[in-house]
A and B are shown apart, each in its own frame.
Chain A
Amino acid sequence: MISVRQLRRTFGPIVAVDNIAFEAAKGDVLGFLGPNGAGKSTAMKMLACFLTPDSGTAQICGHDILTDSMAVRKCIGYLAENAPAYPEMTVGGFLDFVCDARQIKGMARKKALDRIVPMCSIDSVYHQTIDTLSKGYKRRVGLAQALIHDPQVLILDEPTDGLDPNQKHEVRQLINEMARDKCIIISTHILEEVEIVCNRAVIIARGQILVDSTPKALKEKHHCTLDEVFRKITSTKKIA
């Protein structure tokens, strides 16, 4: 469902993403791991058609991100890093706006809202304005926005960042429930999360993919916990 080919993006002299390539199929939950500034977010922004790559391209659901970005945007759900939303709007008004933009009308909209609001547990804040919400609720609203059209491909940039342990658990459960019939990419630097939700782990550092494997295989190969594997692979300091 996702096929990335030699994607590269620079910001001035900094190479944020350097010729990355990978494939992901339906049923995959691909964990994008890497230290800060590794290029995870940049890569995801390019897949979500917010940034244009300098070179290379990607195909999502058979549509090219460069030539047919509207079709790509229609079939993906994207949650950006800080779950941006319009602070002056109510949660309900905000979801209505997203439905407007995604052409979900009439009965379909009612059904979508009836499904998504309990799913993301935002019933209690539905009429509140977004800037009065706590960080956890804001992120859930962001998640609701990304899921409202039941997309085939989900791109979630640090979906559990800033949530309390219960909320983290809920979001992970949500991802596990959806995993079967979607293709999901999540970025995170919480490694236990990868073990719980992901069936693939891609480790990226300094813009390049260092490892594309499964969490289990990684642990077996290196005979240690994911934490240590991660440190071994991404650490810039040479281990003597």
Chain B
Amino acid sequence: MNGFWAVYKRELKGYFATPVAYVFLVIFLFIAGWWTFRDGFYEFRQADMTIFFRTLPWFLAFMGPAAAMRLWAEERKTGSIELLFTLPITVSQAVIGKFLAAWTFLAIALVLTFPIPVTVAYLGDPDAGLIIAGYVGSLLVAGMFLAIGSFFSALSKNQVISVILACVTCLALMLAGLPTTLNYLSAALPAGLLGVAESLFVQTQFESMVKGMVAFSNIAYFLILITGWVAACSVILNERKAS
């Protein structure tokens, strides 16, 4: 447990010890806000955050890997991984500690988008439950992309390679849920399988949460995937921490 806290604390502080965190937050908040207004936040004339949440996962598919790329690639490149794993810290403690630190960092980024819900509340009378569900969904999507990012970060010493591989994987998962892909699949798959395939897509799960229907299965979907990627990350590290 101590190993976990030590890693978590160090990693979270590490974000703010360099300008990385601030550059990241400024870009994140600027683009998230700009995108919302560009897509017609006012023109929509609805007191809700549908527009914000609709574009957010696409954006997170880049920002998640970007926030996760340094987690392991840097440790391996500078050799500090040798220090880390000769301290009394197990691989899984370190993997989970780092992942949760990155997740906390993205949660901070999401919290800092508060001017948007404040604006919505000022302009109208939004459904608070819907907004909370949207944020919970976004946090879960962020966690999943971070887990993918940390996996690829452990895979390569080179941060550029790890971030590109992670972005491509996240985008592939997002693109798979687009209507065009679904149309194509509907021609190829029998109806029963199509339903199964559809329910496996990030968007399907996320959109049902944004609509306010937060089911156990939605949350379980993300948590299972996060656990899977994080577990894969520790397997990879056990294999090649020394290479």
Contact = CB atoms under 8 A, between A and B. Distances in A.
A205 B134 CA distance: 63
Given A80-B79, A85-B83, A97 B88 contact: no
A44 to B, nearest CB: 10
B14 interface: yes
A84 B10 contact: no
Contacts of A74: 88
Contacts of B89: 101
A80 B6 contact: no
A50 B238 CA distance: 10
B88 A84 contact: no
A81 B242 CA distance: 13
B86 A49 contact: yes
Given A70-B88, A70-B90, A73-B88, A50 B14 contact: no
Interface stretch (A25-33, A86-94, A230-238): A86-94
Interface residues of B, number: 25
B26 interface: no
B242 A84 contact: no
B87 interface: yes
Interface centre among A78, A98, A101 (most CB of B within 10 A): A101
Interface in B1-22: 2-3, 5-7, 9-10, 13-14, 17-18
Nearest to A71: B88
A166 B89 CA distance: 35
A36 interface: no
A84 B2 contact: no
Interface in B187-202: none
B79 A103 contact: no
B82 interface: yes
Contacts, number: 67
B5 A45 contact: no
Contacts of A93: 13, 17
Given A45-B242, A84-B80, A97 B86 contact: no
B241 interface: yes
A145 interface: yes
A82 B78 CA distance: 10
B85 interface: yes
Contacts of A82: 79
A102 interface: yes
Contacts of A48: 86
Contacts of B78: 84, 86-87
Given A86-B10, A100-B5, A73 B83 contact: no
Given A89-B17, A98-B87, A84 B79 contact: yes
B77 to A, nearest CB: 10
A97 B5 CA distance: 10
A196 interface: no
B14 A145 contact: no
Contact of A97 (B10, B79, B81): B10
B18 A88 contact: yes
Contacts of A51: 242
A221 to B, nearest CB: 36
Contacts of A50: 82, 85-86, 241-242
Contacts of A129: 17
Nearest to B6: A100
Interface string A29-67: 000000000000000010011110000000000000000
A76 B85 CA distance: 13
Contacts of A85: 80, 83
Contacts of A45: 82, 242
A159 to B, nearest CB: 15
A78 B80 CA distance: 12
A101 B87 contact: yes
Given A80-B79, A85-B83, 14 more contacts: A49-B85, A73-B86, A78-B86, A80-B82, A82-B79, A84-B79, A84-B81, A84-B83, A86-B10, A89-B17, A93-B13, A101-B88, A102-B87, A145-B83
15 contacts: A50-B241, A51-B242, A70-B88, A73-B87, A73-B88, A74-B88, A78-B86, A84-B79, A84-B80, A84-B82, A89-B14, A93-B13, A100-B2, A100-B5, A145-B83
Interface of A: 45, 48-51, 70, 73-74, 76, 78, 80-82, 84-89, 93, 97-98, 100-103, 129, 145
